[in-house]
A and B are shown apart, each in its own frame.
Chain A
Amino acid sequence: MASSAAVAEISAPREARESVVVRFAGDSGDGMQLTGGQFTQATALAGNDLATFPDFPAEIRAPTGTTFGVSSFQINFGSRRIKTSGDAIDVLVAMNPAALKVELPNVREGGVIVADVGSFSERNIKRAGFAANPLEDKTLDAYRVVEIDVSALTMEAVKESGLGKKDALRCKNFWTLGLVYWMYGRDRKATVDWLNGKFAKRPDLAAANIAALNAGHAFGETAELDDMPSYSVAAAEIAPGQYRTVSGGEALAWGLVAGANKAGLEIMFGSYPITPASPLLHILSRLKQFGVVTFQAEDEIAAVCSAIGASFAGHLGITSSSGPGIALKGEAIGLAISTELPLVVVNSQRAGPSTGLPTKTEQSDLYQAVYGRNADAPLVVLASRSPSDCFETAVEAVRLATKYMTPVMLLTDGYIANAAEPWLIPDVDKIPPFNVTFRTDPEGFHPFVRDEKTLARNWAVPGTPGLEHRIGGIEKAYGSGHISYDAANHQKMTDTRKAKIDGIANDIPEQIPEQGESSGKIAVVGWGSTFGPIDRAVSNVRADGHAVSHIHLRHIWPMPRNLGALLANFDKVLVPEMNTGQLVTVLRAEYLVPAERVSKVSGQPFKIGEIEGAIRAHLEA
């Protein structure tokens, strides 16, 4: 590895790295998410595997220069499989003192800090909460600091565009991006194309941003800065095929469309805006060409009710929200369970009870999903592990909802919804169809006639002659579908609803460990977006020869039929979750296993080290 003492020159050898974590951090108005998105694109095009973590403030426009207005975008990329957005930051781009203040604790010792000194005014330094200029005291001694007056250099670079000062300074993020492109030998073409497309109607803005991008790049090439590091990260070994980057919101929307397509149904999507669930509403609104109707309802209750109404009428009703909105939907979901109508409910989990931390991530709605309704009201719960995994999970949600005439709750979270990763694009034609058939034959019909095997009732939709019927939440007689208050009948119907959902365990794959054997010392059981850090932590301890396996659940309810037996093969069951131990309770209740929790509820994803540490502590104990 070249040391920082090496003389920097144009042809300085690049440090080779297996993987790198870069974080762009600045004011919420600095365009950090855009910068991160473009860097992700360029990195993917360079053949690296990657994972991203966008982290933005809850305030739409926080006062400039404040720590609570810091918006950041982290990307971990490498020549090996990347499964998390990275533990510690290798390179921090700090657009202002507040960004430095917030992110510094996450930079690894010896890491690089690129700071825009132009923004380190006395006022900004004070606003960020530094007692003195951190660039001038000992605060940053443990890091390699690259000080650049990005603001001045950007002004200089875009001078010819004739933009006013405010517009010109807006190009700062592209100047910085150009510099980071140089650091990693990235191609600028895709970004130039993107800028030209985005500002097709404002060629002056396109030209200015491109000029800034090029200037930042040229600066890296020519500046003789002692500490200007440059790296090479080789392309990763990745399965062959056609790739793109995809966010959880996109994959989810496309998966739902694919699923509906396989079921032969059109989608009626009813939703009400809430962070971080809104991207799904936005994306589906643009997919009308695929038979999608979207309805922005007056509230979450109306949203789910409209979706259930749509399912009653023969469409696939879908609704989405985050925890607080799912709470409002509870009663209606119970009705969908009682009337046995298909429904997909997406929950993009957010942190905290009530309004909590809307832009931060957590996995604390598992109880809500599995148990959170009045009375015995079982439904299917699935969880996506990553942005691209949302696609498959969504198809599965539609399959189970329509085959079993049941609501399915699909859990994602803020992290998955917004993060992006490379995706081997699937061939939709290869997904086996599961066409729905509506009942049309009046012979022997009543609304709760069931399929003997699946226990699903017949789906008869209004408009069909001879099948007129009334359904509702009041208990139905098993044999006729008429209202019934009969005691034995209620027992039978309750048992049947439960048996129907339990039986789905026979229609989902048996659980196999993601890593490791089917028995051993510790089973690390995870679900949802903790997949990446658990996977890496387990592989680290396995590399030291420990009998630790990673078991990751997609089907949360019902659970895979062999799960209890599988867990019994391990001395210990460890469950890392971004909650206080919800899956732990469920596993203990279902299988009487002594599952133990590894809990983190800070609004931030797990670090690999945290999970690894917990596993090692249990290995020693």
Chain B
Amino acid sequence: MNVVPEQLTAKDFATDQEVRWCPGCGDYAILKALQRTMPEIGATPEKTVFVSGIGCAARFPYYMETYGFHTIHGRAPAFATGIKLSNPDLDIWVVGGDGDMLSIGGNHLLHALRRNVDLQILIFNNEIYGLTKGQYSPTSRIGTRSPSTPQGSVEAPVSAALFALGSGARFVARSVDTDQKHLPVMFKRAHAHRGASLLEIFQNCIVYNDGVFDGFKDPSVAADRQVRVEHGQPMIFGKEKNRGLRLRPGAFEFEAVTIGENGVTAEDIAIHDETNRVMATLLASMDPDTLPVALGVLYCNPAPTYETGVLSQAADVRAKSPNANLNKLLRSGYTWTV
């Protein structure tokens, strides 16, 4: 029986709870974009579950009128895996900050990705710990001054996208909190992908790390500092749409070139192939000081999901023993009667 659902709107996915992020926090924009996207992907509140760890970002579930589980720091992917194994019909979104997902939860993220559990995993990367008041995070750049690194941090940061690709993720994408056009597209792509989809969202923490991404986010520089990749399309950027990425001859890396300069033609610009892990890795590895930041779906190459494998094994066993009976099991093997 197919009941035609009433057309839902963004409002149907908003709760009556007061949103408690700092005014101006990038999280608001992400929340708004997702609430707008939910009806467009045909989401139903009762079948949708938001699972989060702990952090500012992890407050997200309270604001979505769906099922939600605000769990413990770093472990959301593990909770989500249990939920998926119990009810594979649920549409599960995992939300956390960079500290939540890549520091305390790095291990769980790695395993959810390599197992390929069908989850949409959103990392709100603000390169700082928000909720605990501004300590540096595993994505913070070297030299980050924070309450715990008054002289500047000395740790090399982790890249969420490279980490995901190295973990065996089959879907890796990036977007920006304030980009209300691009962000919904990424949500849709992540949602459409069967398996673990990792979406890194560059999010501004206005209180503890304001403007950390301005180097590529600010409208005045965005066109030159970002490249929006799309499968099958040349990787073009720049205000004049005349710049592009090409494979540096004789090396395994991209370089930024200008069409019409030094004999570069439009044909020289590399075409994005989102099914190519090596290309995704090159895009994720680009040094933001010299090359644009790649946004969009860097990698999408579906593979069988974890829960399908587990549950089909279970179904096979069940099919082969339709009369499974516990009393019989207890009486199998050697028994004797007194």
- Interface residues, chain A, CB within 8 Å of chain B? 41, 44-45, 47, 190, 238-245, 254, 257-258, 261, 266, 268, 270, 287-293, 295, 297-299, 301-303, 305-310, 312-315, 317, 331-332, 335, 339, 425-429, 461-474, 482-483
Contacts and interface: CB of A to CB of B under 8 A. Distances in A.
A289 B78 contact: no
Given A242-B335, A428-B326, A472-B69, A306 B45 contact: no
Nearest to B62: A470
Interface stretch (B32-40, B79-87, B195-203, B296-304): B79-87
A229 to B, nearest CB: 27
B317 A471 contact: no
A467 to B, nearest CB: 7
Nearest to A339: B69
Given A305-B108, A306-B79, 19 more contacts: A45-B334, A45-B336, A244-B330, A245-B334, A290-B324, A290-B326, A298-B78, A301-B78, A301-B108, A302-B81, A302-B107, A305-B82, A312-B69, A315-B87, A332-B71, A465-B45, A470-B67, A470-B70, A471-B68
Size class of the contact patch on chain B: 35 or more
Contact of A308 (B46, B82, B90): B82
B338 A238 contact: yes
A466 B46 contact: yes
Contacts of A292: 314
Most chain B beta-carbon contacts within 10 A, residue among A242, A258, A312, A461:
A312
B90 A428 contact: no
Nearest to A193: B334
Nearest to A245: B334
Interface string B316-338: 01101100101101110111111
Given A244-B330, A288-B318, A293-B85, A467 B46 contact: yes
8 contacts: A47-B338, A244-B336, A305-B72, A305-B108, A306-B81, A308-B82, A466-B46, A470-B61
B72 A331 contact: yes
Contact of A254 (B46, B83, B87, B329): B329
Chain A interface mostly helix, strand, loop or mixed? mixed
B67 A462 contact: yes
Interface string B128-158: 0000000000000000000000000000000
Contacts of A303: 78
Contacts of B318: 288-289, 291
Which has the most chain B C-beta neighbours within 10 Å: A47, A308, A332?
A: A308
A312 B79 contact: yes
B97 to A, nearest CB: 16
B193 interface: no
Contacts of B66: 468
B335 A295 contact: no
Contact of B330 (A288, A295, A426, A469): A426
B47 A241 contact: no
B49 to A, nearest CB: 5
Contacts of B330: 244, 254, 425-426, 428
A335 B58 CA distance: 15
> Most B CB atoms within 10 A — which of A288, A299, A331, A461?
A288
A466 B46 CA distance: 7
A463 B89 contact: yes
A47 B77 CA distance: 52
B100 interface: no
A471 B17 CA distance: 13
Nearest to A295: B85
A280 B78 CA distance: 20
B334 A314 contact: no
A402 B45 CA distance: 26
A468 B50 CA distance: 11
Given A298-B108, A462-B90, A243 B313 contact: no
B326 A257 contact: yes
Contacts of B72: 305, 331-332, 335, 473
A425 B69 contact: no
B75 interface: yes
A315 B86 contact: yes
Contacts, number: 194
Given A288-B313, A295-B85, A305-B75, A244 B90 contact: no
A313 B75 CA distance: 16
Contacts of A241: 337-338
Nearest to B17: A482
Interface string B180-202: 00000000000000000000000
A483 B75 contact: no
**Which 5 pairs between the two chains have the least Cβ-Cβ distance?**
A472-B70, A309-B82, A306-B82, A470-B68, A305-B78
Nearest to B324: A289
Nearest to A45: B336
Given A293-B314, A466-B46, A468-B67, A313 B86 contact: yes
B101 interface: no
Contacts of A471: 68-70
A469 B61 CA distance: 9
Nearest to B65: A468
B311 interface: yes
Contacts of A428: 326-327, 330
B67 A306 contact: no
B51 interface: yes
Given A289-B317, A306-B81, A309-B81, A463 B46 contact: yes
B310 interface: yes
Nearest to A268: B86
Contacts of A429: 327
A309 B69 CA distance: 9
B231 interface: no
A465 B326 contact: no
B71 A462 contact: no
Contacts of A243: 335-338
Contacts of B50: 470
Specify which of B46, B89, B317, B336 lies most central, judged by the most chain A CB atoms within 10 Å of its CB: B336
A266 B85 CA distance: 11
Contacts of B86: 266, 268, 293, 309-310, 313-315
A426 B326 CA distance: 10
A242 B336 contact: yes
B317 A462 contact: no
Contacts of A240: 337-338
Contact of A427 (B108, B327, B335): B327
A464 B90 CA distance: 11
B309 to A, nearest CB: 12
Q: Which residue of B15, B313, B334 has the most chain A CB atoms within 10 A of its CB atom?
A: B334
A303 B81 CA distance: 10
Given A244-B333, A289-B324, A463-B87, A301 B46 contact: no
A360 B63 CA distance: 50
B21 to A, nearest CB: 14
A302 B71 contact: no
A273 B70 CA distance: 27
Contacts of B15: 470
A289 B89 CA distance: 21
Contacts of B314: 288, 292-293
Nearest to B318: A289
Contact of B67 (A45, A190, A268, A469): A469
Contacts of A305: 71-72, 75, 78-79, 82, 108
B78 A306 contact: yes
Contacts of B317: 288-289
Contacts of A462: 46-47, 49, 67, 83, 87, 90
